[in-house]
Amino acid sequence: MQRTTAEWQAIDRQHYLHPFSDPKALHESGTRIITRAEGVWLWDSDGNRILDGMAGLWCVNVGYGRRELVEAATAQMTELPYYNNFFKTATPPVLELSALLAEVTPPQFNHVYFSNSGSEANDTVVRLVRRYWDVLGEPQRKIVISRWQGYHGSTMAGASLGGMPAMHAQGDLPIPGIVHIDPPYWYGLGGTLSPEEFGLNAAGWLERKILELGPDRVAAFIGEPIQGAGGVIIPPATYWPEIERICKKYAVLLVSDEVICGFGRTGRWFGCETFGFEPDLMTIAKGMSSGYLPIGGVMVGDKIATVMIESGGEFNHGYTYSGHPTCCAVAERNIRILRDEKIIETVAADAGPYLQNRWRELADHPLVGEVRGIGLIGALELVKDKLTRGRFAPLGEVGTVCRDFCFQQGLIMRAVGDTMIIAPPLIITHEEIDELALRARRCLDLTAAVLGIAN
Ligand code: PXG
């Protein structure tokens, strides 16, 4: 039914509770209603066309409007809309997708557990690594180390693994056995160190924490190759190889949360390939289906899969919709699009470098303290003083002003504190990147004008 924006907003106020939102504030301002999309463009219920600089929520990698994905869903729903994978059963789509994932993931990955989201996949990770060490006769290895400003989901384990104090403050988190270290955030924490020196230092915090806890109590370390929701924190090149070395030294399992970086965001299939490390487990979701249907999973490396299979015994874990056939059929088709159309190669050789060049031009803006990015992910740090990296107070206010101007100017950019973020669909063209850069600069100018900063 086609209603007016005001009618939808009224229903929203009366009946709907949004994720991560203050309902009272939202009721005052009214919700934006997105009604359709094509390529990198969204339309709202007032007919405004908006450039989606965030690919939905970091997920619509192949862009909106791909008929093949609609057709894959229609065909599967017609044939077999649902069946489970419990009780000695499987369906063709879950098997086809498993085999395809083994092909596109790094060589150590040949097995997958499916979930319906990144959060559920990370809950699976926690249960799986604890089960692995139990099976190996080291039941005291229970602790998972993760990082402040990491984001690993919103379930009890996901939010606990994440390093968002505002999330921990609600629901008595973290759950026991999860410990955090500081992130490899050079712009914020690097001081006078070179990025390379800082990267080694930041990895050293992991070793220090392992030694403090006792190496025989640490089950795993989990991190996003680039911390996305935490502000696009891109570690120096020295960081991940050193993290891998430390994990190997203490036999700590290494988990790469690829929910944002996976499926091409950084110009390789997976972020761990871009940063040069070999994880034991990978969390996947989002770009796996380009967000057309909900699906996630855990890629299980051979080292762990062999133990789980050869030990015998049941891993008492799974969801009604683990390996949902329709979601699997869509994810499989989506991954084939990424592969057959060489979309990720294009990100690496063309779209990525082009976007990064245009993005770096914003460095001369008086509000911009640092520009960073890789592939099709980017961030701008808005600061009060470029030289000293001095922040605005309270943090987040200027970011929100800028983000609101972005909406007004027909551009979706995320604000994390005062860091502005983009992660557009991977199929974005040069012309659309030009438009993104133009609109971003206009929004920075408008923000500077509100602050009374001369441009
Ligand atoms: N891991 C990472 C790295 C994520 O970015 C999750 C796990 C959880 O996935 P699900 O599918 O359960 O949401 C995510 C999700 C934001 C934002 O504001 C980011 C996410 C989710 C919601 C908001 O940037 N990332």
Break the chain into its structural domains and give their ranges: 32-65+342-451, 68-340
**Domain 32-65+342-451 belongs to what architecture?**
Alpha-Beta Complex (3.90)
Tens-place pLDDT, residues 175-205:
999 999 999 999 999 999 999 999 999 999 9
Question: Radius of gyration over alpha carbons of the chain, in Å?
Answer: 22
Beta strands in 41-177 (DSSP E): 41-44, 49-52, 109-115, 143-147
- 380-416 burial, b for 16+ CB within 10 Å, e for fewer? bbbbbeeeeeebbeeebebbebbbbbbeebbbbbbbb
Tens-place pLDDT, residues 332-384:
999 999 999 999 999 999 999 999 999 999 999 999 999 999 999 999 999 99
**150 CA → ligand 1 middle, Å:** 10
**58 CA → ligand 1 middle, Å:** 8
CA-nearest residue for atom 1, ligand 1, is 152
- 139-149 burial, b for 16+ CB within 10 Å, e for fewer? eebbbbbbbeb
**187 CA → ligand 1 middle, Å:** 23
Given this structure, which CATH class describes domain 68-340?
alpha beta
Which residue is listed with tokens 């390529």? 39
Q: How many angstroms separate the CA atoms of 423 and 229, rounded?
A: 11
CA-nearest residue for atom 17, ligand 1, is 229
Q: Do domains 32-65+342-451 and 68-340 have the same CATH topology?
A: no
In this prediction, residue 394 carries a pLDDT of 94
In this prediction, residue 31 carries a pLDDT of 94
- Ligand 1 and 293: CB distance under 6 A: no
In this prediction, residue 1 carries a pLDDT of 65
Alpha carbon of residue 408 to chain centroid = 25
Minimal CA–CA distance to 244: which of 234, 236, 254? 254
Which residue is listed with tokens 């699009």? 337
In this prediction, residue 454 carries a pLDDT of 74
- Ligand 1 and 153: CB distance under 6 A: yes
Q: How many angstroms separate the CA atoms of 449 and 443, rounded?
A: 10
In this prediction, residue 2 carries a pLDDT of 84
Other Cβ atoms within 10 Å of 95 Cβ, number:
14
Minimal CA–CA distance to 289: which of 445, 132, 61, 129? 61
At position 176, the amino acid (one-letter code) is P
Low-confidence residues of the chain: pLDDT under 50: none
Alpha carbon of residue 152 to chain centroid = 8
Beta strands in 206-278 (DSSP E): 218-223, 253-257
Sheet holding 377-382: strands in order across?
Answer: 368-374, 377-382, 419-422, 414-416
- Beta strands 109-115 and 178-181 are unpaired
What would the DSSP string read from start to end of 303-356? HHHHHHHHT-S------TTTT-HHHHHHHHHHHHHHHHTTHHHHIIIIIHHHHH
- Residue 216: which residues within 8 A CB-CB, separation 6 or more? 138, 140, 141
Q: Is the pTM of this model over 0.95?
A: yes
CA-nearest residue for atom 22, ligand 1, is 57
- Ligand 1 and 288: CB distance under 6 A: no
**Residue 364 to residues 230, 391, 455: CA-CA distances in angstroms?**
24, 17, 10
